[in-house]
Chains A and B, each alone.
Chain A
Amino acid sequence: MAIDTTAPEAPLGAAPPPAAPAPHRPVWLQQNVLTAIVLAVAGFALGHWAGNRIAGGYPNVAGASGENEVAICLSLGLGVLGWLLGIGALNYPIAKMFGREAIQEPYNPSWTRFFKFSTDHKVVGVQYFFGVITFFFTAGLLAMAIRTELLYPTNHLIGPGTYIEIVGEHGTMMMMMASSAVVGPLGNYLVPLMIGARRTAFPRIEATSFWLFTAGYLVILTALPFGGFPTGWTGYAPLQTQASGGMDSYLVGFAVIGLGMILAGFNLIATIIHYRAPGMTWARVPVFVWSILATSALLALATPTLVTAGLFGILDRTAQTAFYVNERGGSSFLWENLFWFFGHPEVYIMALPGFGIVAEILPVFTRKPVFAYRVATAGMFGVALLSFFVWQHHLFQSGINPDMRPLYMLTTELISIPTGFIYLVTLGTLWRARIRFEVPMLFALGMLFNFLIGGVTGVFLSDVPVDVTVHGSFFVMAHFHYTIMGGLIFALFAGIYYWTPKVTGRQFDQRLGKIHFWCMFVFFNCTFFPLFILGLLGMPRRVFTYAANLQFLNDFSSVSAYLLGTSFLIFVANFIWTIVIEPRPAPANPWGSLGLEWQTPTPVPYYNFERIPVVMNDPYHYAEADADPVADISLPPPAVAMNRPPAAQAIEP
């Protein structure tokens, strides 16, 4: 069992890792991403063979274009299983099942650890970072293709078939990526450091969640060779039931990613509840950790619905059940309900971590405490709770329970109250502060600007009469891109610029960082703001043709999208140049943060803290000369210095 019964107060032995009695594996038997690929391919082939043996003779399980759905689903499923076996994610449970001691690999300090099954939360965090970036750029390229097709109202550069594939693939990949975009890299890396823990509660589960995430990426990519899926990321039945092989990749992919999300959520919940250092009372837990706790609760509670709904879909397509088949007693409404019962909490999975990053970063660059800390936590949990009661607002025009629309209008609008708390907190923190416009701060402010527009337009959507006009149109597209791209992704980049010096000991070029911010901010708004107007003018989503008079706005958006895409190249260049090729050493605490994570040595040692710290204060007492230190570790010098107000700026007694 992964449960560690050691109370946090009784720290484990000091670093390096405890001498495990488990036997070691010779190098040539060690597992890594290569063995994972080999077993995944083997599993895929086996599944294909078995599927054709089992169901080859039945025309009923042949999809529209004749391939055998059972073979596709089995090959994807066994491929994922092979991937997990190959990377070694299942070694421990399998060994235990046979009553044996699991083979344990020695701690591996070399770069190869990033290509292996690692139970170090810092390695998993970095792995997730590269995973998320890969996911993001792949789906981003597809977005460029979408905008290219929309350059002309009726000329088709791509054509409807490919277009519909690309739209679905883009949306699904982005949603999969965004669900883990912050929780994966920053949540796993930072939460233990911020709460004074040596590891997360279930390191093997944590690592498995990452390898499921990568498996999900590969599975959703297989949709392209299987002919894509025509349903967009929402996967509505009966179109789902009708679709060909790519739909299986969608259903299996979401189920696999979903399992990873559930595991990641459980691990972080248990870690935050049980692994806080002595003195880390709930009132001292950093806001970012609160946001991860709320997000993890949503991950653990909402995602099972997605996985189950996906399994129903797989059964409908293979075993000929009729969950979503109207003519045989099922209901296409069932999918819509299940999907959005997950789908709305999911959108807050993609919002709360962004709130957390911004609220965490603002105090550092304003030298002020978080304004109304309790309101911030109340806001995040209020949002998380309410998000389970609003899903029907995606179905206002569907004809499902039409008399309930006022109720869902109410609950949806109520959600903007706790969301507003976040604005009270962040704006209050700026009040009479000493604001430093460093790169992370710029991204955090950009998030506040964009998310405001995203949130306010959400209230428009929740008003049923207005939703009659804008539902299913580009207005909805603009709304959620403002909240996810403008909110979460801006916050993610704030976090990347802010914590990279901690993670790598290296610092980005700040000028390039600022150029990146301004390009991304300007072109983001130029890309997505016109979409609100297009939606109001009657352009539906996911179409390859539109009215000729809408061409100017579409072209404006497309050109801005190319520039937005280019702005990420600045980031990539900055990363490669100043972090990898010509590393620029970062000061120990470049922003002068009081956070516990900055008080560990850089690079963070395997066991994080030599001794579990005793926490004495929350990390937001900037500019308070007489405040207690955060923990009984000595602060790196710059933080101490910056913690004292300059003499010229005396503080009132």
Chain B
Amino acid sequence: MAETNGSSSPPTGTTGSGTPEPPHAKRMITFWLIISLVVDVLYYTLAGPHMPPGDMTSAASGAQFDLNILMICALPVILGVWTYLGYALYNFREGRPGTLLTGPMAHGNFRLQVGWMVGTTVLVLGLFVFGTAELIIPAGAGGGEGPDPIWTPTSHTVLPIQVIGQQWKWTYRYPTYGGFETTSLVIPDNTTIAFHVTSLDVIHDFWAYQLGIKADANPQQDNVAFTTTHQLGQFTVRCDELCGLWHGAMYGFGHVVTKAAFAAWATRTEAQLAANTKLLPPFQWTYVPDANGADGGYYPDNVDPYSKVEIYGAQKAKV
């Protein structure tokens, strides 16, 4: 934006003592171009590769690239305003010889105004096109895409994992492994994953930081987010939407392991948890909230704690 600051020829004026006005605009633009270039290059080479959320998955590296491009556009804008402010405040301060401008330039400058508007519009539209491409091509960029995503990954082998938020913990169900439910999140490397995020009570938000995944967990909604893993390692999971008292404690870790290790873990866990899985409600994409949950106790415990509807966490009615 700031490049338009001086795009019009500076008004020619004279100082009180008759010396010609120095070429303010030219000086500023030169300084600004140099410093922007230096800072952008330094940023991209030194900071860029380390910017969050890293490159553990496709969504993460996409977000990192996007963040870097935005920084490269934003830094010159900020530097431009700072340059101008610094220059103007120093050179045009009271007590330093200078003219007061009462000509047409003082009330406005048509070319400068149009230039500024065109400049900011071009920048903004460019960012919009870039952001949209970065959202659609990588299948939603790791953000929650609602129950039926229209931007989906090209891979044919997608591993679905259900993420269930409840006050105040995360659990995970693996529908392709018999729908067992566990509190540990283990995912295979080099695999496209579809996180199906839902909630049993209030709104939570599943944030797998290093995976570049973030999706709200809404009660009775299935919110899908995709990513493809690229690296082995541990990642952080936090709840990112205020969900009540222990929101800050919905904090944990997950692991990206090799495909073989994942298959071994999943089959083993499926077998270990088989007895528990039978007690769980059958796997569904969403569940009716717990009787004592979001509803704020509208169905008091003594009336009918587990309604006839299939409720997550309910024991099967004993006949």
Produce 1/0 per residue, A519-557, CB < 8 A to B: 000000000000000001110111111110000000000
Known: A238-B294, A466-B70, A536-B52. A472 touches B63 (CB 8 A): no
When the two chains form their complex, are residues B116 and A242 in contact, meaning their CB atoms are under 8 A apart? Answer: no
Q: How far is the CB of A277 from chain B (nearest CB, A)?
A: 23
Nearest CB on B from A570, distance (A): 23
Once the chains are docked, how many angstroms separate the CA of A397 from the CA of B142?
9
> Which residues 223-240 in A have Cβ within 8 Å of B in the complex?
230-232, 234, 236, 238-239
Residue contacts A-B, CB under 8 angstroms, 18 given: A160-B248, A164-B247, A236-B202, A325-B294, A326-B289, A368-B101, A399-B218, A399-B223, A405-B135, A406-B131, A430-B92, A437-B94, A460-B67, A464-B134, A465-B131, A465-B142, A472-B205, A546-B248
Which of B89, B147, B300 is A430 in contact with, Cβ under 8 Å?
B89
Does B63 contact A469, Cβ atoms closer than 8 Å? yes
Select A467's contact among B77, B143, B220, B221, beta carbons within 8 Å.
Answer: B143
Q: Once bound together, how far apart are the Cα atoms of A649 and B124, in whole Å? A: 42
- A385 to nearest B CB, angstroms? 16
Contact (Cβ within 8 A) B296 A241: yes
Question: Counting CB contacts under 8 A, is A134 at the interface?
Answer: no
Interface residue range, chain A? 35 or more
Is A402's CB under 8 angstroms from B202's CB? Answer: no
* Chain A CB within 8 A of B213 CB: yes
A648 to chain B: closest residue by CB: B16
> Is residue A416 contacting chain B, with contact meaning CB distance below 8 A?
yes
User: Which parts of B10-26 form the interface with A (CB within 8 Å)?
Assistant: 11, 13-14, 16, 21, 24
A332 to B131, CA, bound (A): 28
- In the complex, are the beta carbons of A465 and B295 less than 8 A apart? no
| Contact across chains for A468 and B59 when beta carbons are under 8 A apart | yes
Asked if A563 is at the interface (CB within 8 A of a chain B CB), the reply is no
User: Contacting A160 at CB < 8 Å: which of B93, B97, B245?
Assistant: B245
**Which A residues lie within 8 Å of B107 (CB)?**
369, 371-373
Looking at B30-38, B80-88, B185-193, B260-268, the stretch in contact with chain A turns out to be B80-88
A320→B297 CA distance, assembly (Å): 12
A645→B88 contact, CB < 8 A? no
Interface 1/0 per residue, B125-164 and A, CB below 8 Å: 0011001101110101111111101100000000000000
Measured between alpha carbons, how far is A230 from B246 in the docked complex, in Å? 10
Is A414's beta carbon under 8 Å from chain B?
yes
Asked if B288 is at the interface of the complex by the 8 Å CB criterion, the answer is yes
B5 within 8 A of A: yes
Are B242 and A236 interface neighbours, CB within 8 A?
yes
- Tell which of A448-456, A487-495, A596-604 binds the partner: A448-456
Q: Could you say which of B171-179, B233-241, B274-282 contacts chain A?
A: B233-241
At the interface, yes or no: B273 with Cβ under 8 Å from chain A? no
User: Which A398-430 residues sit within 8 Å CB-CB of chain B?
Assistant: 398-403, 405-406, 409-410, 413-414, 416-417, 420-421, 423-424, 427-428, 430
Q: Are B62 and A239 in contact (CB under 8 A)?
A: no
Which of B52, B146, B150 is in CB contact (< 8 Å) with A399? B146
Look across to chain B and name the residue whose beta carbon is closest to the beta carbon of A370. Answer: B107
Nearest A residue to B212 via CB reads A468
Chain A residue numbers with a CB within 8 Å of B13 are 432, 652
State whether the Cβ of B100 lies closer than 8 Å to any Cβ in chain A: yes
Q: Is the CB of B213 within 8 A of A468?
A: yes
Q: Which of A618-653 contact B (CB under 8 A)?
A: 622-624, 645, 648-652
Q: Is the CB of A373 within 8 A of B70?
A: no
Residue of B nearest to A620 (CB): B107
Stretch at the interface among A29-37, A55-63, A303-311: A55-63
Contacts of A459 in B (CB 8 A): 70, 74, 124, 127
Which A464-491 residues have C-beta < 8 A from chain B? Answer: 464-469, 471-473
How far apart sit A466 and B59, CA to CA, in the bound complex (Å)? 10
Question: With A435-B92, A473-B240 as given contacts, are A239 and B131 in contact (CB-CB < 8 Å)?
Answer: no
Task: Tell me whether A417 and B120 are in contact (CB under 8 A).
Answer: yes
- Min CB distance A420 to B, Å, is 4
Which A residues fall within an 8 A CB radius of B?
Answer: 59-60, 62-64, 160-161, 163-164, 230-232, 234, 236, 238-239, 241-243, 317, 320, 325-327, 332-333, 366-369, 371-375, 396-403, 405-406, 409-410, 413-414, 416-417, 420-421, 423-424, 427-428, 430-437, 445, 448-449, 452-453, 456, 459-460, 462-469, 471-473, 536-538, 540-547, 622-624, 645, 648-652
Task: Report if B215 contacts A (CB, 8 A).
Answer: yes
**Does the CB pair A435–B88 fall under 8 Å?**
yes
Seen from chain B, the residues whose Cβ lies within 8 Å of a Cβ on chain A are 1, 5, 11, 13-14, 16, 21, 24, 51-53, 59, 62-63, 66-67, 70, 74, 77-78, 81, 84-85, 88-89, 92-94, 97-103, 105-109, 112-113, 116-117, 120-121, 124, 127-128, 131-132, 134-136, 138, 140-147, 149-150, 201-203, 205, 207, 209, 212-216, 218-221, 223, 236, 238-249, 251, 288-289, 293-298, 300
Find out whether the CB atom of A242 lies under 8 angstroms from the CB atom of B144. Answer: no
CB distance from B103 to the nearest CB of A (A): 7
Least Cβ distance of B309 to chain A in Å? Answer: 9
Chain A residue numbers with a CB within 8 Å of B92 are 366, 430-435
Contact yes or no, A402 B106, CB < 8 A = no
With known contacts A409-B128, A433-B92, A456-B74, A652–B146 Cβ distance under 8 A:
no
Given A239-B203, A327-B220, A456-B78, are A540 and B240 neighbors across the interface (CB < 8 Å)? yes
For the complex of A and B, the 8 pairs showing the least CB-CB separation, nearest first, are A543-B248, A399-B223, A238-B294, A465-B141, A472-B240, A372-B108, A242-B296, A239-B202
Given contacts A160-B245, A427-B84, A431-B92, whether A649 and B99 have CB atoms under 8 Å apart is yes
Among B108, B120, B134, B294, contact of A371 (Cβ-Cβ < 8 Å) = B108
